[in-house]
Amino acid sequence: TTPNLAPALDVVMLDAGRAWAVIATNTSSVPVAATVRLPAGTPYAIWLDVLDGSTLAMNGESIAPRWDLKLAPHAAHVYVIDKVTK
C-alpha cells in the first residue's frame, strides 16, 4: 500500500482456509485512495464484497494483482474469493 498517503487506511489479507478475505478500513473523516499490491499467486478473479454485494476485479499484472481503492470517510470493504476452483 501507500501508507504515507493514507495513514488512516488499514488493509489486511487473510487466509480463511477455503477462501481469501481482503479487508480495508478508513478511520479518518476524509476519503482516502491507495494502491494495494496483493501477494503473488493471488487470483485475478472477481471478488465479492460481503458488506454490500458489490464485486471487484483486481487489476492483473505480471508481479501480482493490484487494487486501486477509494474509501469514503469511516468506510470499510470486506472482499472474499473462494480458493477452490471448479
Whole-number Å distance between alpha carbons of 12 and 79: 11
Cell, residue 8: 488512516
pTM for this prediction: 0.80
Q: DSSP string covering 23-67, please?
A: EEEE-SSS-EEEEEEPPTT---SEEEETTT--EEEPBP-SSS-EE
pLDDT values of the chain reduced to their tens digit, one per residue, 86 residues: 444 556 789 999 998 888 899 999 999 998 998 888 888 878 777 889 999 999 988 776 677 788 888 899 999 999 998 877 65
Whole-number Å distance between alpha carbons of 66 and 37: 5
pLDDT value, residue 39: 84
Cα→Cα distances 41→25, 65, 81, Å: 24, 8, 13
